[in-house]
């Protein structure tokens, strides 16, 4: 609580706490959402056009390399969404931010969706490139574990009725599961894997040709915007649902 001697929060923290009010979040998000969808659509269309029709084919893999423009952004987002959920888990347990558990609950199915896209497209890319749909190597296995963690988190939300208890249990599970993120990232360095090592985020800069890197980064931005838009809609749904829950509880207590 702020008293007369405490200076008001500035900059990022001021914005962080000003959006802590669900009512204010609903107003701002409704205003931003159409623009966010427009930006997502334009970025996605540009990225797809460049990736499918302008970028050159790979000298070794040929045209199958074009799967990279959805496989890699989906893999990034699968991990990024989990990182977002980890920050939200800290928001629930440490800062008690009123929207932290809403954000976490809304993000989990989206993260699971991106991880499924990553695994399926990786399999479709693996067959013509490696001659196999699947291999139990460290990278693929750790991404599969990420999917299982997402499914576990979604199941835990559904298993506990009381929202506060569910939020705390899920936050703890999310923090424990975060150990998998560095394992995914460094699996290709720590173990001998069929999956290739990092070619974009690595020491010494990207080793990928700029003509291929540009559409890849554009698709990465498009997927991030897509996540932001879906996440906001799911958060709105959760906030409205909780309002309805409170109203139902009030009506039930009056009847008692």
Sketch the per residue contact string, 225 through 244, with other proteins: x for CB under 8 A, - otherwise: -x---x--xx-xxx-xx-xx
Which long-range contacts (C-beta less than 8 Å, at least 24 apart) are formed by 199-208?
200/72
Residues 6 or more apart whose Cβ sits within 8 Å of residue 142: 180, 183, 184, 187
Extended beta strands in 129-237, E state = none
Q: Please tell me whether residue 30 binds other proteins under the rule CB under 8 A.
A: no
3-class DSSP state of 60: coil
> Contact with other proteins (CB under 8 A): which of 113, 177, 215, 220?
113
Q: Please tell me whether residue 64 binds other proteins under the rule CB under 8 A.
A: yes
Minimum Å gap between C-beta 139 and other proteins is 18
Which tokens in the block code for residue 24?
């204010």
The residue among 151, 144, 113 whose CA lies nearest residue 234 is: 113
Q: Please tell me whether residue 128 binds other proteins under the rule CB under 8 A.
A: yes
Q: Please tell me whether residue 164 binds other proteins under the rule CB under 8 A.
A: no
Minimum Å gap between C-beta 63 and other proteins is 4
Q: How many CB atoms lie within 10 A of CB 178?
A: 17
Spatial separation of the C-alpha atoms in residues 186 and 181, rounded to whole Å: 9
Q: Please tell me whether residue 198 binds other proteins under the rule CB under 8 A.
A: no
Q: Please tell me whether residue 38 binds other proteins under the rule CB under 8 A.
A: no
Residues within the interface to other proteins (CB under 8 A): 62-64, 66-67, 70-71, 74, 109-110, 113, 116-117, 120-121, 124-125, 127-128, 226, 230, 233-234, 236-238, 240-241, 243-244, 247-248, 250-251
């Amino acid at each position: 609580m702020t008293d007369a001697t405490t200076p008001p929060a500035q900059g990022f923290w001021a914005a962080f706490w000003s959006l802590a009010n669900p009512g204010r979040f609903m107003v701002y998000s409704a205003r931003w959402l159409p623009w966010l969808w427009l930006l997502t659509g334009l970025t996605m269309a540009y990225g797809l056009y460049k990736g499918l029709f302008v970028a050159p084919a790979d000298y070794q893999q040929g045209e199958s390399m074009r799967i990279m423009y959805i496989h890699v952004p989906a893999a990034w987002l699968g991990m990024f969404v989990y990182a977002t959920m980890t920050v939200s888990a800290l928001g629930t347990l440490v800062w008690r931010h009123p929207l932290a558990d809403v954000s976490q609950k809304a993000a989990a199915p989206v993260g699971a969706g991106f991880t499924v896209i990553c695994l399926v497209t990786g399999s479709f890319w693996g067959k013509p490139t490696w001659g196999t749909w699947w291999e139990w190597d460290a990278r693929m296995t750790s991404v599969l574990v990420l999917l299982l963690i997402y499914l576990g988190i979604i199941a835990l939300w559904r298993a506990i009725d009381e929202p506060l208890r569910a939020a705390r249990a899920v936050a703890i599970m999310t923090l424990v599961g975060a150990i998998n993120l560095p394992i995914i990232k460094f699996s290709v360095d720590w173990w001998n894997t069929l999956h290739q090592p990092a070619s974009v985020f690595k020491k010494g800069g990207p080793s990928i040709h700029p003509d291929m890197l540009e559409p890849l980064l554009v698709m990465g931005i498009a997927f991030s915007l897509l996540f932001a838009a879906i996440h906001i809609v799911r958060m709105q749904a959760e906030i409205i649902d909780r309002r309805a829950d409170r109203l139902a509880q009030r009506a039930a207590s009056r009847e008692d």
